[in-house]
Amino acid sequence: MMSAMEKMAWSEVVISGTATLCALALLPWLGPGAAGAFGLLGLLPCGSWFLRRRGTAVITDERDHDNEKRATFLGILTAWQVTFMSLIAMVLWTVSQNRDIPAAWLNWLIWVQFALCYLVKGCAFLLINRRQHRATAC
């Protein structure tokens, strides 16, 4: 059975993945306006519903917090790298083309790095947890 933190990680993966896919799917019709689909990221706090207290049962513990810290670090690191690499690419493009950076690109960059951060964080948490659960329960 999945722990509360695993359910929360799954919700992060599903919400950020769905938001990205919706934005990409709407791009041919809405153009830059398709970035509005990233508004689905507003559902992310709903994942904390899995962490609600249920009597005296232990919902999260030190291992969950350790794993979450590692996963968050990976998520932020990835988003940070993607943001800066994209900014470098944009600067090179503007210099080589002698044009301004379209505002829509920056808008997309901000949304994508948020979605990517949560997507990587969720996936990393699930992978770290899976690695620790290899033992058979008895």
By the criterion CB under 8 A, which residues form the site for other proteins?
A: 3, 58-64, 129, 131-135, 137-138
Q: What is the nearest approach in angstroms of other proteins to the Cβ of residue 56?
A: 8
Nearest to 113 by CA among 133, 71, 85, 132: 85
Q: Which is nearer to other proteins, 99 or 134 (CB)?
A: 134
Report the C-alpha gap between 30 and 24 in whole angstroms: 10
Q: What is the nearest approach in angstroms of other proteins to the Cβ of residue 86?
A: 36
CB proximity list for 53: less than 8 A, separation 6 or greater:
59
Residue owning tokens 């960059």: 109
**Per the structure block, which two tokens stand in for 45?**
């706090």
Question: Is the Cβ–Cβ distance between 51 and 5 less than 8 Å?
Answer: yes
- Give me the sign of the Cα torsion angle 41, 86, 101, 97: negative
Q: Which is nearer to other proteins, 66 or 87 (CB)?
A: 66
Q: Which is nearer to other proteins, 99 or 131 (CB)?
A: 131
Q: Which is nearer to other proteins, 62 or 100 (CB)?
A: 62
Q: What is the nearest approach in angstroms of other proteins to the Cβ of residue 129?
A: 7
Q: What is the nearest approach in angstroms of other proteins to the Cβ of residue 62?
A: 5
Q: What is the nearest approach in angstroms of other proteins to the Cβ of residue 52?
A: 15
Question: Is the Cβ–Cβ distance between 49 and 35 less than 8 Å?
Answer: no
Q: Which is nearer to other proteins, 3 or 83 (CB)?
A: 3
